[in-house]
């Protein structure tokens, strides 16, 4: 049993996958925070774009 535990502790396979998962999580949280911060600006931008496209297609 002791050999198994020692081998398990020394086994570093899968560490890269864990690191990538952690980085992806950090990026996702950062994007969520940035998105929340600039939400009104982004909404205004899309509203302006939608209005411009609607005006261009109806004229």
pLDDT digits (tens, 9 = 90+) for 4-53: 888 877 877 777 888 889 999 999 999 999 888 888 898 999 999 999 99
Task: Classify each residue of 7-42 as buried b or exposed e, where b means 16 or more C-beta atoms within 10 Å of its C-beta.
Answer: eeeeeeeeeeeeeeeeeeeeeeeeeeeeeeeeeeee
Query: pLDDT value at position 58?
Result: 84
Q: What was the pLDDT predicted at 19?
A: 87
């Amino acid at each position: 049993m002791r050999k198994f535990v020692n081998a398990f502790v020394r086994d570093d396979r899968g560490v890269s996958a864990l690191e990538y998962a952690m980085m992806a999580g950090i990026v996702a949280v950062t994007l969520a925070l940035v998105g929340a911060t600039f939400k009104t600006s982004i909404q205004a931008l899309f509203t302006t774009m939608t209005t411009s496209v609607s005006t261009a297609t109806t004229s």
